[in-house]
Homo-oligomer: A and B are copies of this chain.
Amino acid sequence: MNKSKLKPRMGRPPVLENARNRILEEAALLFGKDGFDNGSLSVVAERLGVSKAAVYHYFGSKQEIYDAIIIRTLEGLLIFVGNSVATSKGGEAKLKSFMTAHASYFEENYWSFVCMLIGYGGMANPGLKFEATQKRVEYESILRKIVAEGIADGTFRNVDVTTASHSVLSMLNWMVRWFNPNGPKRAEEFALEYFELLTLGLSSRQ
């Protein structure tokens, strides 16, 4: 591992090897914008200023790159959101951390996230697909635990944990369909508004 090439950044998936990650980021941008079928690895190579053979030195196929984008994005999400939740105290603060950290990570890794949420069903390697499912379950369990503990200590009403978790993830994940990374408002701000609406409720009967 060439340490001089490491560029650790908040909200980034763990950086292990620079070339590999640069390929994944360029490919995510391409697949996210043009679609997996239309995206060519020649374009990825050209944008990175290397030969197509150099790209194939790291990944055997376009599909392999796609699978790697998804695993890397989920891995980074788990670590970033997990750490953010771990440093917060109490059900409401933990839920707020979960939602805002998820949104920050989403915005920071926008194209990889687009690939992941739109291309999730398209993973080819069964082992990696299993790994991705496990990571998704692990991620959801962080959220379920926040809700369940909040109900247990009286912070939250006695709601159904699955319904509440699905609500939170729906709001956050659907952002991929309407959020504009070049717009005036950050994803984290939208997440904060969702958090307030969801905790306080829409009804004025209080």
Q: Assess whether A2 is interfacial by the CB under 8 Å rule.
A: no
Q: Which residues, 182 to 202 on A, are CB-close (under 8 Å) to B?
A: 190, 193-194, 197-202
Contact yes or no, B197 A163, CB < 8 A: yes
* Contact pattern, A 155-174, Cβ under 8 Å of B = 1, otherwise 0: 11101100110110111011
Q: Assess whether A25 is interfacial by the CB under 8 Å rule.
A: no
Chain B minimum-CB-distance residue to A198:
B202
Question: Interface size (A, Cβ < 8 Å)?
Answer: 36
Q: Assess whether A92 is interfacial by the CB under 8 Å rule.
A: yes
Partner of A164, one of B37, B92, B197: B197
Q: Assess whether A87 is interfacial by the CB under 8 Å rule.
A: no
A203 and B167 contact, Cβ closer than 8 Å, known pairs A193-B160, A198-B198: no
Residues in B with CB closer than 8 Å to A169 are: 174
Q: Assess whether A127 is interfacial by the CB under 8 Å rule.
A: no
Partner of A203, one of B118, B156, B202: B156
A163 and B194 contact, Cβ closer than 8 Å, known pairs A157-B204, A204-B157: yes
26 pairs, CB–CB < 8 Å, chain A vs chain B:
A37-B37, A118-B118, A147-B202, A150-B202, A155-B203, A155-B204, A156-B204, A157-B200, A157-B201, A157-B202, A157-B203, A157-B204, A163-B193, A166-B171, A167-B198, A170-B170, A171-B171, A173-B174, A174-B174, A197-B198, A198-B198, A198-B201, A199-B201, A199-B202, A201-B202, A206-B206
**Beyond known contacts A157-B201, A163-B190, A198-B198: 9 more, CB 8 A cutoff:** A155-B203, A155-B204, A156-B203, A157-B202, A157-B204, A164-B197, A173-B174, A173-B177, A201-B203
